Structure 1
Amino acid sequence: MPGALEGLTVLEFAGIGPGPFAAMMLADHGARVIRIERPGNTARVGDAGNRDILNRNRERLALDMKDPAAIGRIRELACEADVVIEGFRPGVMERLGLGPDVLLADNPRLVYGRMTGWGQDGPMAPLAGHDINYIAVSGALHTYGQAGGKPVFPVNAVGDFGGGGMLMAFGVMAAVHSAQRTGKGQVVDCAMVDGAAILSAMTWSFFGNGQWRDQRGVNLLDGGAHFYDTYETADGKWISIGAIEPQFYALLLERTGLKDDPEFARQMDPGAWAPLKERVAALFLTKTREEWCALLDGTDACFAPVLSLAEAPHHPHNAARGTFVEDGGMVMPAPAPRFSGTPAPAPRLGGK
């Protein structure tokens, strides 16, 4: 059965990180994605070629963009495409003769997605950077980490993928919807600094309403609260607790033997969080992760074990839903989200 994006044609200029992730999401759901690569497909950091999950489900075309004939071929392909995705620094595509003015003149309905860290304009637009830099300037990185400690970056999930590739996938599909209504394509300027900022919208809401202190590790959702954090267990493994709502918190106290302790009645008193966190940490060190799972799994205590990459695919819930799939011996996340009428085809590494 074809995916939800069957009939959509995307021209992707090979890169690393957020651009390929956006193209992967579109390809996962049935779009025809033609990935234009350099001849020889010279490997770069973060690009594992045919073993790169981000490059799955593609058609691959090697073209030397220094060759005028290749530029002509790309323009021909763009005339038949719905979407172009590129991740070069501002001005590079224009110098190649493949900028949006050229390709939109050839194909007025084209959606031209531009993926950068700093955006197409602004004083930092021409500068190099990586995920860690973009989320730093957005304010997001400042909020991640323990109280009194340094900022801790969540690998490259917030800038490259959540605030980059996923935002690009949303942006180009919004622009495709507009083009289908109006007959006019447009440029989608997707900057990771913007994306990291919008991913923090709820934090900004709390901050603007006086409900968030501008410090790490002292707030409701950043590890400041004793009922919303991770804790080590007796076997050196970890569990997560997120019992915010009163009924879930009450259940957590009941299951852990703390319900009759009056100090734990001060759930929403920030002044009580630090000493209560010490007591909760000591409690969770008394049993192994497996023992806590036996006590708290299957309840509304908002509990889950912290699983490793090797463990996650084998968790009963992930196994039941097929959250992970395998191709060629490579375990990888399955396409998401899920569609009832047009489910995504099984992903394939390399190409279709």
Structure 2
Amino acid sequence: MPLKSIRILDLTRLLPGPYCTMLLADFGAEVIKVEDAKMGDYARAYEPKLDEDSTLFHSLNRNKKSVCLNLKSAEGKADFLRMVEKADVVVESFRPGVMERLGLNYDVLKRLNPKLIYCAVTGFGQTGPYAKQPGHDLNYLSYAGLLNLMGEKGGKPVIPATQIADIGGGAYPAVVGILLALFEREKSGTGQFVDISMMDGVISWLQTVLPNYLMKNEIPKRGEQLLDGGRACYAVYETKDNRFISVGALEPKFWQAFCQTINRTDFIPLLEAPLHEQHRLKYEIQTIMSKKTLAEWLAVFSDIEACVSPVLDFAEMMNDPQVRAREMIQTVKHNTLGAVKQIGVPIKLSKTPGEIRTQAPRLGEHTAEMKGEMGLLK
């Protein structure tokens, strides 16, 4: 596997850091979760649970090992430093200053292991006036200006159902940063510090709305943008059976096909109509969509290229032929739970694909093994 020789010490908890190291572990990296013996990763305690640990923990921590160390004790610090000597990467998600107070910050670790890559995933990054402030996904979306654009025109901002900043703004940039640093190390022979800010990551996602403001200095408004539901060609409509269907007919050819299929060719010239006209179009299209059930509309559009899709729930998504073909829901074997379903690997490599090899570790399951390897057993 592409990362088979890479050892990662993972001090992160909850979602952003563990998602990052999960992806790396899926492609062969040896990821060692360094956890406190009393509680470990907070995600273990969440509900619902599969055994003693939560479903979330099982999903995020497959293919990993768990070692318990008390990093506040002299013995725990010494053990960790010995592990750092043989590590390629350290990933942590504490607020800036925490690792320094522990005496385990990058400046200390790089003297011990100059090849070490140290990745810190935080809300606001290592610099700036907010660096040491607490925060969560919602806060980073708020500061980045994204939350202000989410929701219907005239309504309040809508909280997304998944964590955009944690995963898109934090975990994925962290994976990229670590891989870039590993690639650079092949040339220089030394590691470096990877500073990931979830707020930075969210701002970098605003490619379809922020550049217009930067050029024209016009504040965008909620529900009036190209891709936020303000236009009739890119919206969600309710069907006769109280289900929903999404329309993404942005390009003229798709819009033409959509309008022809609903027998309203008079809508075709109105693709780029002003906002007030878009509202009228949406109302009229909604009236039309209300006359058939979701299944009936899907049958009507089955052979039409108009970017029309059903809004699925999880049960329907799992049985969707595209999801099944891509193996994005997999059944894996668990030692005590038997067959367990897990989210699949989203990155497909033709020669060295990622895979789910082992279940999430029990708290401290690999402590003795790792201490034995490091010569730390008393």
Identity of aligned residues (%): 34
Aligned residues: 348
Residue of structure 1 equivalent to 2:279: 274
What is the aligned-residue RMSD (CA, Å)?
2.0
Q: Report the alpha carbon displacement of residue 299 of structure 1 after superposing the two structures with TM.
A: 3.2
Query: TM-score, normalised on structure 2?
Result: 0.87
Q: Which amino acid aligns with 2:3?
A: L
Partner Cα separation in structure 2 for residue 265 and residue 210 of structure 1: 27
Alpha-carbon distance between aligned partners in 1 of 2:3 and 2:231, rounded to the nearest angstrom: 43
TM superposition shift of 1:161: 0.5
Query: For 1:10-49, what aligned pairs fall within 5 Å after superposition?
Result: 10-42=8-40, 44=42, 48=46, 49=53
The Cα of 1:94 is off from its aligned counterpart by: 1.1
- Partner in structure 1 of residue 49 of structure 2: none
> Aligned residue for 2:121?
115
Correspondence list, 1:1-352, <5 A: 3-42=1-40, 44=42, 48=46, 49=53, 51=55, 52=57, 53-210=59-216, 214-259=220-265, 261=266, 263-271=267-275, 272-327=277-332, 328=334, 329-351=339-361
Q: Letter of the 1:294 partner, please give it.
A: A
Structure 2 unaligned runs (5+)?
47-52, 367-378
Inter-partner Cα distance in structure 1 for 2:325 and 2:114 = 45
Using the TM superposition, name which of 175-184 and 273-282 deviates more: 175-184
**Distance in structure 2 (CA, Å) of the matches to 1:68 and 1:239:** 59
Preserved contact between residue 225 and residue 270 of structure 1 (Cα < 8 Å): no
The structural deviation recorded for 1:225 is 0.4
Residue 375 of structure 2 corresponds to: none
Partner-residue secondary structure (3-state), 1:34: strand
Measure the CA separation in 2 of the matches of 1:280 and 1:347.
Answer: 48
CA contact (8 A) 2:63 2:356 kept: no
Amino acid at match of 1:223: G
Shift of 1:207: 3.2
SS of equivalent to 1:287: coil
Unaligned ranges ≥5, structure 1? none
SS at match of 1:104: helix
- Deviations 1:41-92 (CA, angstroms, capped at 9, x unpaired): 3563576546421111101111111221111111111111111100111111
Offset at 1:213?
A: 5.6
Q: Deviations over 1:85-109 (max 9, x none)?
A: 0011111111112100111111111
Q: Measured at CA, do residues 330 and 270 of structure 1 come closer, stay the same or move farther in structure 2, by a change above 3 Å?
A: farther
